[in-house]
Structure 1
């Protein structure tokens, strides 16, 4: 090969990481018949007719002999809820298949479950590609499921979501400088009010105010909630109103004071579980219309937003239960 320009390896890796990719796990069996697998984001399609795909493996990878010697392997395109599985197969020095249920495909290749798509392949060609070996495989069979993909970008996992074509252009107010239709406060506020409007009738049946339900729900996070933790968790949300709501719950026999702070009574626990179960059913109906992939993206982004604008929210969860 000719001369190669001198690159800063770290910066080169970062530049390559600006290209978002899906995440896959490639599996096969070694010469002893043991299952082998690793996480790969170099997967790509090559041809539709004949059906060909490719991926690459580092020349110093411990699993290289298994993939080179076995003519069959499978590509698993991971769904957005399989980040833990991706991490497991990215680590060295452990039994990656321990405790996993999997099927067997062409040539006895392990087939993982719950993936967006699975491609069972036979090695068609091998190419030397610098410090990697490039595998081109003929797809013998495949299956797929509707889900959101797990994405890798900038050195970390990410989520992909579809844009709603009906709302690609934010609406603008007639008053110049006013809030537009994509103002975060408007989107969060209206979504909250419309979502909570479906839960409020349940609270009215139980005779609870919004504030009382919020505190009642918070008390379910730990067996006993220290008053300082409750105050920290309610700071900027209910503030002093949390004490009034807590006092009302105690007066109604739904909560009680204990040396460590406060806990739910039996009646309070039954009430909380009944309301939370009903609220979860409402949530499921909303998220079903949104779609499983976008639902997970939404929750992930809201959790990130919460850590940015309200770090104290973690006080309710620290040390649970």
Structure 2
């Protein structure tokens, strides 16, 4: 561990060390003397006491909004939800109408209140303290509200999402038994998850007359129509366990696909209609599964899978993005 001691602290290293502490992201709002709404992004929010209920946050002395917050009687702290990263960016910028197009209510002391947050605290400004290059604002909470939405998290200079650990899950087998094919082996987890998830869709595809491989081809052509067989084979070779050409010929005989004079494959009108119905069923199946988790856990799962795919991709083309 690299050590830095005062007075020769490296500012960049100090900032990086502070970034090791994960924080929530807040937007602080107030009403200026001329009646205009003022807001800014801050991650310095913290609690002070429960009785009386008091919180604090800090603002750089060079901030253009310092005078407003120094002189206002009330301000509000909005703890942003995981899907409000855009609000964080909006209120971090200066020189723009930050409230334009937003749903804004008026709170205690006419403080602007933003919608959709994980929590909100309406505060009466109580104390102000010097804190180096910042001014620390302490307020007594006059009212608050909260939702079940997960908060937006900031860690190591980046936005992140918080996922709760499920206490009902047993410890990973590798933590209990050393060696062997463990049940937390990533390949096993991915394979089992795919099989269990795909089973509900597979039954509907087979009822429509499609094998697993044909359903993959139909779904791919729904995403991007008019693809040469070689490009389709290159894009799907990692999931198809049989040659593509016989699949296409069989699907053509059954009225699902056809080839144009340039050799590009398309879904027929009937094939597209049936494929869209199957995709809708797949989306419904996905939605039913994800409804058992929070929105943020579902988004985090997809994000991690996308990162895993990118990290392990040997160079397969992507049907969703044309070259």
TM-score if structure 1 supplies the norm length?
A: 0.89
Matched, 1:296 2:299: yes
For residues 80 and 308 of structure 2, the distance between their equivalents in structure 1, rounded to whole angstroms, comes to: 25
Compute the displacement of 1:214 (Å).
1.8
**Residue range with higher mean Cα deviation, 257-266 or 106-115:** 257-266
Matched, 1:287 2:290: yes
For residues 242 and 112 of structure 1, the distance between their equivalents in structure 2, rounded to whole angstroms, comes to: 53
Unpaired stretches in structure 2, ≥5 consecutive residues: none
Compute the displacement of 1:114 (Å).
1.4
Among 31, 39, 42, which residue is 1:40 paired with? 42
Compute the displacement of 1:237 (Å).
2.5
| Contact 2:229 2:245 survives alignment (8 Å) | no
Partner of 1:305: 308
Q: How many residues align?
A: 318
Partner of 2:31: 29
For residues 108 and 246 of structure 1, the distance between their equivalents in structure 2, rounded to whole angstroms, comes to: 66
Compute the displacement of 1:318 (Å).
1.6
Partner of 2:278: 275
Compute the displacement of 1:189 (Å).
1.2
Q: Label 1:310 to 1:246 Cα distance change in 2 as closer, same or farther (>3 A).
A: farther
Compute the displacement of 1:23 (Å).
1.2
| Contact 2:48 2:56 survives alignment (8 Å) | yes
**Residue range with higher mean Cα deviation, 11-20 or 264-273:** 264-273
Q: Label 1:85 to 1:5 Cα distance change in 2 as closer, same or farther (>3 A).
A: same
Partner of 1:65: 67
Compute the displacement of 1:51 (Å).
0.8
Among 75, 78, 82, which residue is 2:77 paired with? 75
Aligned with 1:45: secondary structure?
strand
For residues 68 and 322 of structure 2, the distance between their equivalents in structure 1, rounded to whole angstroms, comes to: 44
Among 175, 178, 181, which residue is 1:179 paired with? 181
For residues 38 and 243 of structure 1, the distance between their equivalents in structure 2, rounded to whole angstroms, comes to: 59
Compute the displacement of 1:290 (Å).
2.5
Compute the displacement of 1:132 (Å).
0.8
Q: Give CA deviations for 1:13-71 in whole Å, capped at 9, x if unaligned.
A: 11100001111111222232222222211111111111111111111112222222222
Compute the displacement of 1:225 (Å).
4.1
* Aligned alpha-carbon RMSD (Å): 2.6
For residues 17 and 220 of structure 2, the distance between their equivalents in structure 1, rounded to whole angstroms, comes to: 44
Q: Label 1:117 to 1:237 Cα distance change in 2 as closer, same or farther (>3 A).
A: same
| Contact 1:235 1:312 survives alignment (8 Å) | no
Q: Give CA deviations for 1:251-295 in whole Å, capped at 9, x if unaligned.
A: 333333344933333222211221111111111221122232322
* 1:185-200 mapped onto 2 (5 Å cutoff): 185-200=187-202
Compute the displacement of 1:229 (Å).
5.0
Q: Label 1:164 to 1:251 Cα distance change in 2 as closer, same or farther (>3 A).
A: same
Q: Label 1:60 to 1:225 Cα distance change in 2 as closer, same or farther (>3 A).
A: farther
| Contact 1:287 1:295 survives alignment (8 Å) | yes
For residues 176 and 14 of structure 2, the distance between their equivalents in structure 1, rounded to whole angstroms, comes to: 47
For residues 244 and 112 of structure 1, the distance between their equivalents in structure 2, rounded to whole angstroms, comes to: 57
| Contact 1:233 1:312 survives alignment (8 Å) | no
Q: Give CA deviations for 1:86-110 in whole Å, capped at 9, x if unaligned.
A: 2222223322222222222122222
Partner of 1:262: 265
* 1:1-321 mapped onto 2 (5 Å cutoff): 5-172=7-174, 177-222=179-224, 224-225=226-227, 229-238=231-240, 241-258=243-260, 259=262, 261-310=264-313, 312=315, 315-319=318-322
Q: Label 1:239 to 1:227 Cα distance change in 2 as closer, same or farther (>3 A).
A: farther
| Contact 1:229 1:315 survives alignment (8 Å) | no
